[in-house]
A and B are shown apart, each in its own frame.
Chain A
Amino acid sequence: MTGDKTHQYHRHLPEDPEYSAEKLQELLTEKGLVDEETLDEIVNIYEHKIGPQNGSRVVAKSWVDKDFKKLLFENTSEAISTLGYGGRQGEHIVAVENSPEIHNMVVCTLCSCYPWPLLGIPPNWYKSDSYRKRAVKEPRTVLHEFGVELLNGQKVRVWDSTAEIRYLVVPMQPEKSLGLKENDLIPWVTRNSMIGTGLPTRPL
């Protein structure tokens, strides 16, 4: 195809999405376009292999390994590939560091772009209209609702993921966790702390 026209589509589907999804899978299977094994593999990957535990490992390592931290901020994709991470919706990842001067926070106002290989599938609130509308204009109010207390004089920097660059927030290491080993630090690094809507916390 060499050209395009403006599209305005109407629904082709019945009201019930659960029913439609099931019937669409049947149709696409009949047509030989999908098979159950591939669909199961995709679900298995995003349910069990890819999730925020990957990002937590990256952050925990950056807290204890100076060389890794240096590489993480110079070339994030290269650094995370040393741990085996990368790929779909994380082709171009940039790590951004929180400091006493800057608090970083990530949103995608146009859709729901998110660093899948490190954090998995975005949580419901990240995809909500409310977060998409409010995060850029009133980040401090949103952070307050998440229970994030900013430091005195800390500036908020919101990253609106408008291109294929995906952002990982690297939170400051809590003082109470200093001296712990990398593996013991992993559970401190919550998903929200890597989006910027939370801070690392002592695991329960």
Chain B
Amino acid sequence: MKKIHDMGGQNCTDPLPSENDKAFEKEWHKTVLSLTLAVGALGQWNIDRSRYFREQLPPEDYQKFTYYEKWLAALVNLLVDSGLIQESELINFKSNEAITPHSGITSSVMKKMIDNGDPSVCDVQESKQVFAIGQMVKTRQESCNPFLQGGHTRLPAYSSGLQGRIVSFHGFHRLPDSHAHYFGPNPEPLYTVTFKANTLWGNGVEFPNDEVNLDLWHSYLEPLN
């Protein structure tokens, strides 16, 4: 089933919003971004899980919310899901326990974490079948999570069940379908796959030879003869 966040290629006549060069449009955006990063750095969840939680907002909220409202609502759900806060504490935004001194991430540790990032590439000893550059492949018929019905996946619906060609290989990367649900990183080969515009959109495409490139994991793909 196609989910609300998976919107690539949907018919849309809305113009693009006018440009704004500010890093933060509103003061409270700073609060939401910094809370998300500072609490995320505690390691109680991972980036795939936070994406999954944004996708899992009720569709009417997802549609209506601005970007940072989605972040804020998903952050609260992550905090409750991980047990860092209790739902009852959200009624008056008061802690159920005594006030606790800061035991979270300090500013110098946070700076280091931003500088270092969190690479998704994994060292993998065993060699698995790796598709060759130039090889034709077909994407999974449905964009769905194989581990958990309705779970997280990064195969956009518009690219499912279609033929593409492998153009590059990026090593083994954590598989979001697994990692988002705490089934482990399950690293898989990650490829860039190129699709012709007319394969994706059929007749009426703007220009048939244009291309869309997507980064897709091994298990999203099957080889074509």
Interface size for A (C-beta < 8 A) is: 90
Determine the distance from Cα of A141 to Cα of B11 in the docked complex, in whole angstroms. 13
- Residues on A with C-beta less than 8 A from B181 are 3-4
Give bound CA distance, A11 to B113, whole Å: 30
Out of A43, A89, A90, name the residue touching B34 (CB < 8 Å).
Answer: A43
* A164 lies within 8 A of B38 (CB): no
Q: Mark B49-90, 1 if CB is under 8 A from A, else 0.
A: 001111111100100001111001101110111001101011
Contact yes or no, A28 B57, CB < 8 A: no
Most buried by B among A112, A129, A158, A162: A162
Given contacts A42-B38, A111-B5, A136-B158, are A162 and B215 in contact (CB under 8 A)?
yes
Q: Residue A82 at the B interface, CB < 8 A?
A: no
List chain A residues, Cβ under 8 A from B12. Answer: 129-130, 133-134
- Contact B210 A139, beta carbon cutoff 8 Å: yes
Q: CB within 8 A of B28: which of A3, A21, A125, A130?
A: A21
Contact of A32 among B57, B103, B213 (CB under 8 A): B103
How long is the Cα–Cα vector from A90 to B192 in the complex, in angstroms?
A: 17
Instruction: Select which of A5, A35, A109 is within 8 A of B104 by beta carbon.
Output: A35
Task: Please provide the chain B residues from 163 to 221 with a CB less than 8 Å away from any CB of chain A in the complex.
Answer: 170, 173, 176, 181-183, 190, 192, 194, 200-201, 206-207, 209-217
With contacts A17-B28, A34-B104, A121-B23 known, what are 6 further pairs, Cβ within 8 A? Answer: A3-B182, A31-B84, A124-B20, A136-B158, A159-B213, A165-B190
Binding site for B on A (CB under 8 A): 1-13, 17-18, 20-35, 37-43, 45-47, 51, 86-92, 107, 109-112, 117, 120-121, 123-125, 127-142, 145-146, 155-165, 191
